[in-house]
Chain A
Amino acid sequence: MIDTIKVAVAVFVLAVFQVSATPQITPSTTGPDLVVILVISLALLRGPVWGASAGFVGGIMLDSLDAQSLGLTSLLYVLVAIWASERAPKVEVAGVERPATPTLGRHLVIVIVGAVFVQLGLAVVQSLIGDGYGLSIAFWRVVLPCSIETAAFALPLVPLMRWLFPTTTRIDVPTAATA
């Protein structure tokens, strides 16, 4: 229950900051994708259901604040949560496969690659539905700056996420099943 409240607060705070604060302090007209850092971190540390649920809610908030096609960002966040959870190291506890804490470097790389996937996905879908700009303009003006800024913001945020949402079963702690 406490974890659910923590995740809900984190989604709300990051979405609000993503829209109202970060676009003003970053050099490009686009801003970093803070919610994707939370979504991928949850998928890695807690599993795909946590990541996908946070992504669904965060996506709806961003689409509403951005007057975007509702559900588009949610869909991409849910897909990236599924993808990220598959990249997490696993440990089997009592016959159940659980996520184990990835190394910080691996965690950062997955977040950055996932952020690029989401931005590329948005660019491709917007292009396919005849919305937004052409792919080359979208790449230089949105995908590239957003990915770089997300990577920069991920450096302090990923350790924060690991502290806020520690993996419930660690790979380096022997359990009844692994000992």
Chain B
Amino acid sequence: MLLRKNRVIRRRVIIGLLLAASLTLLTLSFRESSGGAAGAVQRSVLSITGPATDVVHRVTQPVVDAWNWSTGLVNARDENAKLKKQLGQASNNAVLVQEQQQEIKNLQSLLNYTHTTDARSYDWVTAAVTANSPSDYRRTIVINVGSNDGVAVNDPVIGPYDQGGALVGRVISVTGGNAIVRLIVDPENAVTAADLSGTAKGSVVPSPGDPGMLNMLMVSASEVIHRNDIVVTAGYAGPLQPVLPRGIPIGKVSNTGISDGDTDQTIQITPFVDFEDLSDVLVLKVQPS
């Protein structure tokens, strides 16, 4: 009887301690900056799990590519048996070639970006995306470069698109070999931006009603902005926003709107980068590491 009572008490104490520890960590993570105890725990866990995510990413990437490739074949079911057989024999090679071509295209886009006037004055390092945020509450990625490669917090991260490179996000946490990047479509993100002429300035934030799209706020109603105008980083710091170098492309204007009596207009922006298919990125080393 006594033994049973002791076990029940011990069980309740352990569960109570786990609940209290969870609440304490949650409180600490809200009260402290990333340099506090909660941030230290996160960095320690990341430094342990980061290499493992890198390994799992490398091991599973061919399977993922094969999976994606296979799902793309759903519409080709009516092909005859001979073609299917040939396709099957060629599929292994095709997956490898397709993967390498995409990687070359991405890296070429990023390399082109490093030759632009705005990027030429900075050192840079390329990185592979090893983990994605598993939910939409946080839009973050983990990349396989860190402070050992000269990467520092607030460094901008560039991703490839057809015309070169465009802003993906900024580094928010770094360990020796890994870094966490907050994407520009993360709900907590904001970037000071301007049109190419530099006259229409505002703050680019994620669209609350349309995940994946961006809104440019605080643009004066007197500024003239057209659809398909390109929006780039403004090169100055906003309230609670770190400085990013001027001229990094963000996206193009897809819609503009202003209500009667408003002094500001709201501009909807389609980002250049496809965040769902991000595998190679480039980190501009703008912060002193």
B104 within 8 A of A: no
Chain A: how many interface residues by the 8 Å CB criterion?
56
B198 within 8 A of A: no
Size class of the contact patch on chain B: 35 or more
B200 within 8 A of A: no
- Contact at B25–A67, with CB atoms within 8 Å? no
**A67 cross-chain contacts in B, Cβ below 8 A:** 42, 133, 138, 140, 172-173, 180, 182
A122-B135, A133-B187 are contacts. A20–B140 as well, Cβ < 8 Å?
no
- Contact at A17–B56, with CB atoms within 8 Å? yes
Alpha-carbon distance A43/B250, docked complex (angstroms)? 47
- Residues of chain A from 134 to 176 with CB closer than 8 A to chain B in the complex: 134, 137-138, 141-142, 146
A37 within 8 A of B: no
- Residues of chain B from 127 to 171 with CB closer than 8 A to chain A in the complex: 130-138, 140, 142
Alpha-carbon distance A134/B187, docked complex (angstroms)? 11
**B57 cross-chain contacts in A, Cβ below 8 A:** 20-21
- Contact at B49–A72, with CB atoms within 8 Å? no
Tell me the nearest residue of chain B to A62, going by C-beta. B134
Interface centre among B1, B26, B57, B140 (most CB of A within 10 A): B26
7 A–B contact pairs at CB < 8 A? A19-B134, A23-B134, A53-B18, A70-B28, A71-B29, A74-B18, A131-B137
- Contact at A12–B52, with CB atoms within 8 Å? yes
- Contact at A71–B136, with CB atoms within 8 Å? no
Alpha-carbon distance A61/B182, docked complex (angstroms)? 18
B19 within 8 A of A: yes
Tell me the nearest residue of chain A to B275, going by C-beta. A29
A22-B134, A68-B137 are contacts. A47–B11 as well, Cβ < 8 Å?
yes
Q: Which secondary structure dominates chain A's binding surface? A: helix
- Besides A52-B14, A65-B49, A141-B211, 6 other CB < 8 A contacts? A12-B52, A30-B134, A52-B18, A66-B133, A78-B18, A133-B208
B21 within 8 A of A: yes
Interface centre among B41, B67, B134, B142 (most CB of A within 10 A): B134
Alpha-carbon distance A59/B211, docked complex (angstroms)? 25
**B53 cross-chain contacts in A, Cβ below 8 A:** 16, 19-20, 65
Hey, what's the 0/1 contact readout for B7-24 against A, CB within 8 Å counting as 1? 100010011001101111
B83 within 8 A of A: no
- Contact at B134–A18, with CB atoms within 8 Å? yes
A65-B142, A67-B140 are contacts. A78–B15 as well, Cβ < 8 Å?
yes
Shortest CB distance B129–A (Å): 9
**B29 cross-chain contacts in A, Cβ below 8 A:** 69-71
**B276 cross-chain contacts in A, Cβ below 8 A:** 29
Shortest CB distance A125–B (Å): 9
Alpha-carbon distance A44/B15, docked complex (angstroms)? 15
**A72 cross-chain contacts in B, Cβ below 8 A:** 22, 26
Tell me the nearest residue of chain B to A59, going by C-beta. B22
**B25 cross-chain contacts in A, Cβ below 8 A:** 60, 70-71, 74
Tell me the nearest residue of chain A to B14, going by C-beta. A49
Alpha-carbon distance A24/B132, docked complex (angstroms)? 8
- Contact at B211–A137, with CB atoms within 8 Å? yes
- Contact at A66–B64, with CB atoms within 8 Å? no
**B172 cross-chain contacts in A, Cβ below 8 A:** 67
Shortest CB distance B149–A (Å): 19
Interface centre among A60, A65, A69 (most CB of B within 10 A): A65
